[in-house]
């Protein structure tokens, strides 16, 4: 490990001193089939309403749970935007047998790692501390996936407790100082394996734009 990597700890955690932002190159990424993108600003309310009404089992939810889901999705989209996410997507469902509301979120954020190149070795360092860490192939590089559990301090969904199951995929962009981070979060332990698959699937679709005229930060949000 070279001197630059030894200094990573002194530079601050991702999103702290290093900074979250938009890279100066174009890229495309796909959310998994069935996931709904939640845009920020004036489009958020319409996206949240569409995500709610197209949720399987929506009509079986009582009014209180419908309000709760709207508030939850609005909060997820708002907090992700404030944290600098470039893309937020959600998936929700209703288990008729247990009467449980199931929910997960996916976000894409870009971390500027300068002066360190965003490569697989750095991705492994950023993933340290995860309960499970493994590599997987991306479109342009070997990416690193980390799974962990944290306490949010309050339940995301009534009855789930305050535990959050989080999957983070660190995707290097070779030759640059920008690391893509795809984060999947769910409050339900039984949903964690599905979130891991969804986060990895989304991360695998990330490709850098090669054509002239591609706008920086362009996302393909189809399933």
pLDDT in tens, 58-70: 888 889 888 988 9
The token duo for 210 is: 């090669």
Tell me which CATH code domain 19-37+101-208 carries: 3.40.1000
Each residue's pLDDT tens digit, 124-160: 999 987 778 999 999 999 999 999 887 766 666 665 5
Each residue's pLDDT tens digit, 14-66: 444 467 889 999 999 999 999 999 999 999 999 999 999 999 888 888 898 88
């Amino acid at each position: 490990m070279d001197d630059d990597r030894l200094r990573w700890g002194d530079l601050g955690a991702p999103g702290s001193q290093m900074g979250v932002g938009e890279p100066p190159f174009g890229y495309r990424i796909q959310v998994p089939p069935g996931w709904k993108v939640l845009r920020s600003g004036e489009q958020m309310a319409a996206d949240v309403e569409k995500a709610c009404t197209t949720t399987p089992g929506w009509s079986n939810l009582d009014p209180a749970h419908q309000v709760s889901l709207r508030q939850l999705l609005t909060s997820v989209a708002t907090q992700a935007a404030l944290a600098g996410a470039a893309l937020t997507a959600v998936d929700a469902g209703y288990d008729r047998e247990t009467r449980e509301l199931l929910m997960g979120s996916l976000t894409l954020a870009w971390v500027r790692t300068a002066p360190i190149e965003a490569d697989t070795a750095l991705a492994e360092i950023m993933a340290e501390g995860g309960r499970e860490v493994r590599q997987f192939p991306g479109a342009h590089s070997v990416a690193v996936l980390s799974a962990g559990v944290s306490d949010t301090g309050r339940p995301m969904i009534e009855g789930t407790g305050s535990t959050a199951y989080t999957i983070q995929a660190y995707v290097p962009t070779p030759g640059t100082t920008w690391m893509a981070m795809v984060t999947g979060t769910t409050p339900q332990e039984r949903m964690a394996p599905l979130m891991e698959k969804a986060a990895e699937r989304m991360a695998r679709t990330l490709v850098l734009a090669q054509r002239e005229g591609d706008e920086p930060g362009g996302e393909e949000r189809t399933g």
